[in-house]
Amino acid sequence: MSSKLGRLDLRVLAGTLRGRTLASPAAPWLRPLSGRIKKSLFDILTPRLPGAAFLDLFSGSGAVGIEALSRGARVAVFVEKENVAIEAIERNLSMLGLVDRAKALVGDATGDPSWIVHRSGVASFDIIFMGPPYKDRERRPLSLGNLALASLAGSTLLAPDGIAVVQHHLRDPLLAPPGFKLAREEKYGDTLLSFFTR
């Protein structure tokens, strides 16, 4: 394992890969979704998962998209701009035998997302999860959730009956961009999961 990858310390919670461990990037900017929040997220998403196309933006280790594949998603696409994270995702996909159902793409999730369609071969996604970092490398607070959501709203990435979920900090409120509406919001301490539909 690369010295830039951390321990095999994340686990798949349920589905065909339940209990399998995942490599995580050894990076201070990475804040994995806690097991409690991940369980709650997938309890909500379960009815939508079988056969779904899943997009994991700001994907870190890929734990969220891999959980979706384990629970029945047809395909998952992972987008990350950090090479060490892509290395971890690709290692996890290979280790779990998911290479034929997934793609890891290096790129920025906050700009025009049309490149994702061209490079992934997936025209639209039933579920899109965004877990942007709360702070950048200089520890400055970010508002990447709003930026990525606005970019998404201006594209055709989200299927007409799809759902977009954004993880964000309590002090970083999200605004529904034109054409989107807030369908649900869940609070876990200082973390929120906001669910948007068209």
The residue extents of the domains of the chain are 5-197
pLDDT value for 1: 42
**DSSP state letters, 140-186:** -B--HHHHHHHHHHTSS-EEEEEEEEEEEETTS---PPTT-EEEEEE
End-to-end CA distance of the chain: 42
pLDDT at 35: 87
Q: Which amino acid is at 60?
A: G
pLDDT score recorded for residue 138: 62
Sign of the torsion angle spanned by Cα atoms 48, 49, 54, 59: positive
Q: Taking the CB of residue 95, how many other CB atoms lie within 10 A of it?
A: 14
Q: What is the DSSP letter of 33?
A: P
How far from the centroid of its chain's Cα atoms is residue 10's Cα?
Answer: 15
| 3-class secondary structure, 126 | strand
pLDDT attached to residue 136: 59
Report how far Cα 156 is from the mean position of its chain's Cα atoms: 18
Q: How far apart are CA 69 and CA 144, in angstroms?
A: 25
CA 96 to chain centre: 18
The pLDDT value recorded for residue 3 is 43
Grouped pLDDT means (10 residues each) for the chain, 198 residues: 52 95 76 87 97 96 96 97 92 96 94 92 97 69 82 94 94 91 95 95
Q: d(Cα 131, Cα 193) in Å, to the nearest integer?
A: 9
- The CATH class of the 5-197 domain is alpha beta
- Whole-model pTM: value is 0.92
According to the model, what pLDDT value does residue 2 have? 46
